[in-house]
Amino acid sequence: MQRALRFGLLLAGSLSSLSFLPALAPAQTGVPAPGQPILSAQSRMLPVLARKGMVSSQERQASQIGLEILKAGGNAIDAAVATGFALAVTLPRAGNLGGGGFMLVHLAKTGETIAIDYRETAPAGSTRDMFLDSKGEPDPKKSRDSGLSIGVPGTVRGLALAHEKYGSGRFTLADLVAPAVRLAREGIAVEEDLADSLPAAAARLGRFPSSAAIFLKDGKPFQRGDRLVQADLATTLEAIRQQGPDAFYSGRIAASIARSAQAAGGILTEADLAAYRPVLRQPVRGSYRGHEIVSMPPPSSGGIHLIQILNILEGFDLKATGPGSASSLHLLAEAMKPAYADRAHFLGDPDRVKVPARGLTAKAYAEGQRAAILPERARKAEEVAAGNPLPHEPDQTTHFSVLDSEGNAVSNTYTLNFSYGMAMVAEGTGVLLNNEMDDFSARAGAQNAYGLVGSDANSVSPGARPLSSMTPTFVFRDGKLFLITGSPGGSRIITTVLQVIVNVIDHGMNIAEAVAFPRIHHQWRPDALAVEHGLSPDTLRLLAERGHTVRPGTTSGSANSILVSRDGITGASDPRQRGTAAIGY
């Protein structure tokens, strides 16, 4: 790594030479159009500016590592891989080796966009009814707090595949893992998000001696200003650095992961780990007000339902109703409901069930759902049901976005499910394990930890990938990359990404405003409208008068995003957590 950084050529060129920068309308570049409200460079909320490249993630040290790779001549994929490994050290509640996720890669030279599915899979010993109790009822303790909740991790092979197929060739995988090794071995200061999250997770971490030995001190969480050293994790990362991903999926590390899962009542085996492979998929595509939307396909539900909701909204003039108004928020909520009803009915692992993706994302299908929206009254959940798209056929998580000087880009979302996953470290590895199996449907109609309803399409099956809401997304304008976004947030991920896009395209906000603006969320069931603090009490009253059950106070997501404008590269990290950072050069 040091050699590569020392001799890597710093990227050169001026803003005018970056051919991927589009010419944008003034309302989308920080300059208000005549008669428009000032949501612009004159506002109090300004994005980070850069000329050559940018990394926006949920943790500053990880963003800085990615940026150094860009500066030394790496491309966006190189930087994303280094950032992903670093987050496993600096953001242990969500960054991970023991989980999985989704990555979108855009290659500027060919114009190609690729989806890398490195979602966790169900162990081979999984059965359809494994999360039911003796009475046939879902048992959340089995799917969330026992070894049965652990899916086969995909992150290490996923990041390695991204590097192998799409990296610049200037860096080996060893180069990109080395900064994470150093951080784990030397330790990191307990500040920002880490200091906030450890006390909240202390009781869960304390259940397992292997976790308590790392994240607790004398039975109590580390305090702000302490130093967290993760020696076992450094050893695991060093093995990956020297031997590649096989070091994680076979041998000592795999044996320790399987043994720890089984000791907690799980069924994960070394054979499951050895058999794991990521999958390359075609992204889902749609359009919204002249912009192309490219997002993650199943087993993510995110891309399909993001496009579905945007299709519904396209028939309304959100710009006229204005950001944060009761009328705009009502339309957003009513457009969300049918998408989540469809999600509950149709979505699952595409390698196992037929997902009607084209029908769900068809403009004609959205027309019927749009016509059912009542402008002055909220529909109750029982008034909204899954539609028929077939005639139209042809918690804790983290997201980061990366853009390089050539226009290559990465939008990556990966997860352990809950904060700190199952909260169990595999003995001797430093690796926190996921509890991702809760994302399967324990039975048709049952809700998972995020209240999402599932169907047989998402039932447990050996080797299957559980349905996800992760929504890494690119938006293109006039054929050129315009916006890179995504978010953590469980069931709220889709609506978080939706509102960033609407805030930019409909309301002309700069990317910092678009990310920070208060969000809402409705997922059909439970039948309630979650709203963040910051919206007017009068707006909330008007929403309640229209029939919405308003539940204020829930923070939603961390949409670390990058927008390309005529001003250059503009980025924003989400202010909802401490320690997030968009860094450019």
pLDDT in tens, the chain (585 residues): 433 333 232 222 222 334 444 433 333 333 333 333 444 444 558 999 999 999 999 999 999 999 999 999 999 999 999 999 999 999 999 999 999 999 999 999 999 999 999 999 999 999 999 999 999 999 999 999 999 999 999 999 999 999 999 999 999 999 999 999 999 999 999 999 999 999 999 999 999 999 999 999 999 999 999 999 999 999 999 999 999 999 999 999 999 999 999 999 999 999 999 999 999 999 999 999 999 999 999 999 999 999 999 999 999 999 999 999 999 999 999 999 999 999 988 999 999 999 999 999 999 999 999 999 999 999 998 888 777 775 665 457 999 999 999 999 999 999 999 999 999 999 999 999 999 999 999 887 666 666 666 678 999 999 999 999 999 999 999 999 999 999 999 889 999 999 999 999 999 999 999 999 999 999 998 999 999 999 999 999 999 999 999 999 776 789 999 999 887 999 999 999 999 999 999
CA atoms of 474 and 113, how far apart (whole Å): 9
Q: Are 416 and 98 in contact (CB under 8 A)?
A: yes
Residues facing 565 on adjacent strands: 568
Q: Which two tokens stand for residue 182?
A: 């150093």
**pTM of model > 0.75:** yes
Question: Domains in the chain, please, with CATH?
Answer: 61-101+114-279+399-436 (no CATH), 281-397+468-584 (3.60.20.40)
- Give catalytic residue positions: 397
CA distances 98 to 120, 207, 411, Å, are 9, 18, 20
The maximal CA–CA distance of the chain, rounded, in angstroms, is 67
- Kindly write down the DSSP assignment for every residue of 485-543, as one continuous string: E----GGGHHHHHHHHHHHHHTT---HHHHHHS--EE--SSS--EEE-BTB-HHHHHHH
- How many residues make up the chain in this entry? 585
Phi-psi region of 490 (alpha: psi -120 to 50; beta: other; left: phi over 0): left
Within 59-185, strands assigned E span 100-107, 112-118
Residues facing 112 on adjacent strands: 107
